[in-house]
Structure 1
Amino acid sequence: MSTEQEGDIERVAEELRRGLDIKDRKHHLKTYPKFFTGSDAVKYLISSGRAKTEQDALDLGNGLMAQGVFHHVTRDHAFKDEPLFYRFTADEEAFSGGPTIKDDGKAVSWADRLLGGRDEAGPNLQAQLPSWDDAGFQSVEKDLGVSPLDKCNLQLLDNVHPAQWQDATPQPMYNMVVIGAGAGGLVSAAGSAGVGARVAIVEEHLLGGDCLNVGCVPSKALIRCARAAYQARNAEQFGVHVDGVRVDFGKVMERMRCIRAEISKNDSAKRFAQQLGVDVYLGHAKFTSKHTLEVNGKTLRFATAVIAAGGSPKVPPIPGLLDVPFLTNVSFFNLTELPKRLGVIGTGPIGLELAQAMARLGAQVTVFGRTGRILEKEDPDAAGILQQQLEREGIKLMTQVELKSVSKRAGGDVATHIEVHICGDKTQDVVVVDQLLVATGRSPNVKRLGLEAAGVEFTTADGVKVNDYLQTSQKHIFAVGDVCTPYKFTHVADFMARLVVRNALFFGRGKFSALIIPWATYTEPEIAHVGLYPRDLEQRGIKFDTYTKKLEDNDRAICDSQTEGFVKVHTKGGTDTIVGATIVAADAGNMISELTAAMQGGIGLGALASVIHPYPTQAEAIRQSGDLYNKTRLTPFVKTLFRGVMAAQRATASI
């Protein structure tokens, strides 16, 4: 498509729309409203003088398609000189009638037809995450930093950042360009390419993002090894005597690296380029205008873009901290030797998961916090159970301290020492550690992206600003994941990306507020949550009832010696409509999905009481929570009525 045609695109599109025979057309006994054919469009473009040859017409038509002017009926074809059906975007809103009307009376969108899903789920059931003053915090830029370069890490790098990679030749126009190849970016790219879009993805560091490389995958592999060590040391309670438990930390970390490498095949550059048809660019992306970005000296033009740049570790403004070799989650998994003494700054999920794992593997662990409690966003009862467990395992929790400074220790082999002021206690103000892990949250990666050139609004604290449809201040540019939301979970980025594919390419109207978001902290016991907390319900003025079933009454939990935990379900006052739930249990992360599915499907707590669960399982506590609700329906009047019925039955039987 020539420069003149590009500048004249709106006028060309309108002339084409007026000149074509747009009507309802039938194919294979199915009627498609308001369509024209590719062959008719080619004839018109030539006859009107807009194109001299068939190839000119095809180039112009495909350019119009890339700009979103019109599309093929099922997104299976580019613009061709064939009797294929195409429809103008401007006619989408007029599309209605017949079998394309949903049960709720709303027109079925292309998102409904091709990708499924629901755009609305009633009131917003997303919890308000606590916030605090982060003044002075800064993000730490990450680099490749993969070590040691053993066979497993080399396999990882071969997959997610090949040493030799030839970038694709840029297409004239991409339907979508994605910045960032973490969970949100990869799902955006794969989902779009899978329905026929021309897609490019740009990654500066490692494909797979934090989850694969320095987050979910390596941490869960480490936690599994730590659990094995803990169970071996505590097997005597089950009549099993294990003598001389020894942890080979080097082998533990090698196992983690090999598992990560094996899983990395799914996120590899080769798979996305060769199997999924995505143009993969390894380099730094920077917007140069509202419809272009630059990578490795090449310009990529796009109709829509997705910012999925993720986040980086956030570091508190503690004097001297930047002068010592502290760890974050980015560098933690490079360890090959177990530190004798580990300090952890941060009492959130990342800090506590790694603190418990390292303590079980043999380190002396001290955790520092400033708010007076751990897991500030979670149910206090849940956090309390976990705190007791961590303390039983020998972890020292200093949850209300002010860290005055950090410095290298003068002399000796110890790497650092921390001067700690403990509120209300002057007995100890120095803690000595060999390694220091900083786990104080994440900052969105918004620097150096050229967002100003694209006209995309953002702040360094909160990231890219998006609306409920995940559009930025530029409606054709979207954002997903840690770069734009406080819900910094892999599964949230995944489902945000699914919304973006629908909204960006198929004129969907999927709302982020409609997502019902569960999450879990993978300590032992696990803590899982979905929906609203009591504090959210109180702030919104929503009356609610709470039904709690403790695991001390659960037969399987008793058999497993895992009785410290509960299922706690909140329902809208006077009803069984579930609005939130918290589970504390060994397998809470899996158990929470039953309640999430119930909320998503509009199934009430009372109905869960009739769902047969295998016996004995800890998940029975969910069913028993439903029993608790159903018992509240036995009002004094109903009980009196039942007693009358029972009396009448006895009288009849005695005759």
Structure 2
Amino acid sequence: MLKHLKMTSKHFKFIILGSGQAAPPLATALTAAHGKGSTLVVEKAFIGGTCVNYGCTPTKTMISSGRVAYLSTRGKDYGIATAVTENRSISGLVDMQKIRQRKRDIVNSFRGGNEGRLERSGVVVKYGVGRFVGARNVVVRDRDTSQEEEFTADAIFINTGCRPAEPRLPGVESVDAKRVLDSTSIMELGEVPRKLIVVGAGYVGLEFGQLFRRLGAEVTVVGRGKQVLAREDGDIAEELEKILVQDGIELELGMDTVRLEGVDEGEMKIRLVYKPTGGGEEKSVLGSHILWSAGRVPNTDMLDAEKAGIRVDSRGFVQCDEYLQTAAEGVYVLGDVKGGPAFTHISYDDFRILKNNILNPTAPKLSTKDRMVPYTVYTDPQLGHIGLHEAEARRLYPNRNIKVAKMPMTWVARALETDETRGMMKAVVDGDTEEILGYTCLGIEGGEMMSMVQIAMMGKVGYSRLRDATFAHPTLAESLNNLWGSLE
């Protein structure tokens, strides 16, 4: 556990509420500039926020176990026969408790690294919940004693993040609460569910749905949208849907959830009732467990933000300008709690912006305006995206010569050699200037391929430079030679 420095004053130069991805580096930078004990971090539970404790680190650790399970059933495809590949089933061979412990060990390692970094830097940490009682005044309720202390600061940073939305369905109280899961509790299961119902066809729902299908669960995904991943172009979403169905996942899209019912039909203890969006006959699915992955809510309900003059929107997200300044002077916001793209790397970029603007006031100010927002969905294959989708490009630039290139992964030599040919690439460009406007790779190492194109976009490299470049063979990168041949 982190050792706390003795506080000699209730006034700090800086206070950071919440210790998500942006907080540890910001706290250490501020402390390095203004001295040990100058910065107070208030954390409700664990240092590192969602990413380290409940998000990126644990989920991707478990997804790696799912990939090993998947590959173990494909041995025959590579000429390797094992007991698993005889019937392509891993039933009874999955040690869920080992998977869970591996996840816990890695999370504890990352968490400890963040705690040690703050301790060595001289950052003061107090575990509890902070709320505003005035402009740059906060009261912190201690996590262990429930005692309250008031602190003031020259500047305060809100980095309290988000949490999974709770299911608000009629009948939820009729179901065993241990079987109603969110993105945090599902990772603490000690056994693979017999049948998992997933509500929500976004990043979280699809990643967990595919993971538990690979670990042996039957899986049904119920989504409100007409396609998975509502932001993606239809052709990309359709390709991913084919992959998920091929993996044995049942998709029920364009559906509104109606109610939950507790049942007792062997291992099936839950019935989800749903119907087509816009009206239609009710349908239902039985499951042993249900994962509610239909959104997240900001952790602002405990902040009493209005007492500091901070504005929040109708959903509870903190409002700010492009410099991350809230409506209250000297109060800033970072990460998911301000809304917008809920990605760890965006939170970290918020840190870079504030570090520059606060510690280097004479330097040009950085802002969130026009920054690139790359992301990767860790389905298998991955879906990496940067820039504009085709639909966005055509809507935003009706007068530009928008051209689109598409290529299936079956045309990529490296994908063929590794027998990982599912998916496709897609690029959106300006046909006159050769500017790359957007790129998506649904394929093996899709996130890494996307990052290559992102670097080209950052350097304002036109698509023909990639088309004519000399990449090593055989690599996934050399597919960027051939992609542009399909421009239309």
Above 0.5 in TM-score? yes
How does 1:532-543 map onto structure 2 within 5 Å? 532-542=388-398, 543=400
SS in 2 for 1:458: coil
Is 2:245 aligned against 1:407?
no
The aligned residue for residue 71 of structure 2 is 231
Aligned residue pairs total: 465
CA-CA distance at 1:573 after TM superposition: 4.0
Is 2:70 aligned against 1:214?
no
The aligned residue for residue 12 of structure 2 is 174
Is 2:415 aligned against 1:564?
no
The aligned residue for residue 315 of structure 1 is 166
SS in 1 for 2:470: coil
Are the aligned partners of 1:180 and 1:201 in contact in 2 as well (CA < 8 Å)? yes
Is 2:263 aligned against 1:416?
no
Once the two structures are superposed, residues 371-418 of structure 1 have per-residue CA deviations (whole angstroms, 9 ceiling, x without a partner) of 121111112222212111111111111112232210222575543222
Q: Which runs of 5+ in 1 are unaligned?
A: 1-157, 633-655
CA-CA distance at 1:166 after TM superposition: 4.6
The aligned residue for residue 118 of structure 2 is 272
The aligned residue for residue 21 of structure 1 is none
The aligned residue for residue 597 of structure 1 is 455
CA distance in structure 2 between the aligned counterparts of 1:364 and 1:560, rounded to whole angstroms: 27
CA distance in structure 1 between the aligned counterparts of 2:370 and 2:155, rounded to whole angstroms: 23
Once the two structures are superposed, residues 128-179 of structure 1 have per-residue CA deviations (whole angstroms, 9 ceiling, x without a partner) of xxxxxxxxxxxxxxxxxxxxxxxxxxxxxx4xxx6xx656415464332111
Is 2:417 aligned against 1:577?
no
Q: Which range moved further: 476-485 or 537-546?
A: 537-546
Q: Which range moved further: 218-227 or 295-304?
A: 295-304
Are the aligned partners of 2:161 and 2:337 in contact in 1 as well (CA < 8 Å)? yes
* Identical aligned residues as a percent: 27
SS in 2 for 1:182: coil
CA-CA distance at 1:548 after TM superposition: 2.5
CA distance in structure 1 between the aligned counterparts of 2:271 and 2:231, rounded to whole angstroms: 30
Are the aligned partners of 1:170 and 1:298 in contact in 2 as well (CA < 8 Å)? no
Are the aligned partners of 1:581 and 1:595 in contact in 2 as well (CA < 8 Å)? yes
CA-CA distance at 1:452 after TM superposition: 1.1
How does 1:26-425 map onto structure 2 within 5 Å? 158=1, 166=4, 168-169=6-7, 171=9, 173-196=11-34, 198-244=38-84, 245=90, 246-268=93-115, 270-273=116-119, 275-295=120-140, 296=142, 297-321=148-172, 323-324=174-175, 325=177, 326-410=180-264, 414-421=268-275
The aligned residue for residue 551 of structure 1 is 409
- Structure 1 172/213 Cα, relative in aligned 2: closer, same or farther at 3 Å? closer
Q: Which runs of 5+ in 2 are unaligned?
A: 85-89, 143-147
Are the aligned partners of 1:181 and 1:201 in contact in 2 as well (CA < 8 Å)? yes
Find the partner of 1:526 among 372, 376, 382.
382
SS in 1 for 2:151: strand
SS in 1 for 2:102: helix
CA distance in structure 1 between the aligned counterparts of 2:283 and 2:6, rounded to whole angstroms: 57
CA-CA distance at 1:609 after TM superposition: 3.1
Is 2:333 aligned against 1:471?
no
Letter in structure 1 aligned against 2:150? T
Once the two structures are superposed, residues 439-468 of structure 1 have per-residue CA deviations (whole angstroms, 9 ceiling, x without a partner) of 011111111112111110112515000111
Greater C-alpha Rg: 1
Are the aligned partners of 1:191 and 1:498 in contact in 2 as well (CA < 8 Å)? no
CA distance in structure 2 between the aligned counterparts of 1:303 and 1:187, rounded to whole angstroms: 19
Tell me which protein shows more strand as a share of its residues.
2
Are the aligned partners of 1:567 and 1:621 in contact in 2 as well (CA < 8 Å)? no
CA distance in structure 1 between the aligned counterparts of 2:225 and 2:6, rounded to whole angstroms: 50
Are the aligned partners of 2:10 and 2:150 in contact in 1 as well (CA < 8 Å)? no
Are the aligned partners of 1:400 and 1:422 in contact in 2 as well (CA < 8 Å)? yes
Once the two structures are superposed, residues 592-634 of structure 1 have per-residue CA deviations (whole angstroms, 9 ceiling, x without a partner) of 11111122222222222344322111221223335667xx9xx
SS in 1 for 2:63: helix
Letter in structure 1 aligned against 2:114? D
CA distance in structure 2 between the aligned counterparts of 1:322 and 1:499, rounded to whole angstroms: 45
CA distance in structure 1 between the aligned counterparts of 2:81 and 2:134, rounded to whole angstroms: 67
CA distance in structure 1 between the aligned counterparts of 2:127 and 2:8, rounded to whole angstroms: 13
Once the two structures are superposed, residues 240-293 of structure 1 have per-residue CA deviations (whole angstroms, 9 ceiling, x without a partner) of 11214421222121221122222222222x4312x1221111111111221221
CA distance in structure 2 between the aligned counterparts of 1:291 and 1:281, rounded to whole angstroms: 17
> What's the TM-score, normalizing by structure 2?
0.90
SS in 2 for 1:287: strand
CA-CA distance at 1:537 after TM superposition: 1.9
- Structure 1 322/302 Cα, relative in aligned 2: closer, same or farther at 3 Å? farther
- Structure 1 605/194 Cα, relative in aligned 2: closer, same or farther at 3 Å? farther
Letter in structure 2 aligned against 1:587? E
SS in 2 for 1:301: strand
Letter in structure 1 aligned against 2:247? E
CA distance in structure 2 between the aligned counterparts of 1:321 and 1:220, rounded to whole angstroms: 29
Letter in structure 2 aligned against 1:524? D
Letter in structure 2 aligned against 1:191? A
The aligned residue for residue 650 of structure 1 is none
Once the two structures are superposed, residues 189-240 of structure 1 have per-residue CA deviations (whole angstroms, 9 ceiling, x without a partner) of 2332243463211101211111111111111111111111111111111111
Are the aligned partners of 1:550 and 1:621 in contact in 2 as well (CA < 8 Å)? no
CA distance in structure 2 between the aligned counterparts of 1:413 and 1:340, rounded to whole angstroms: 7
Is 2:479 aligned against 1:618?
no
> What's the TM-score, normalizing by structure 1?
0.67
Are the aligned partners of 1:184 and 1:493 in contact in 2 as well (CA < 8 Å)? yes
- Structure 1 628/489 Cα, relative in aligned 2: closer, same or farther at 3 Å? same
CA distance in structure 1 between the aligned counterparts of 2:151 and 2:8, rounded to whole angstroms: 6
CA-CA distance at 1:432 after TM superposition: 1.4
CA-CA distance at 1:419 after TM superposition: 2.3
Letter in structure 2 aligned against 1:529? H
Letter in structure 1 aligned against 2:352? R
- Structure 1 264/553 Cα, relative in aligned 2: closer, same or farther at 3 Å? same
CA distance in structure 1 between the aligned counterparts of 2:6 and 2:397, rounded to whole angstroms: 55
The aligned residue for residue 56 of structure 1 is none
Letter in structure 2 aligned against 1:430? S
Q: CA RMSD in A?
A: 2.2
CA distance in structure 2 between the aligned counterparts of 1:602 and 1:196, rounded to whole angstroms: 38
Q: Which range moved further: 215-224 or 407-416?
A: 407-416
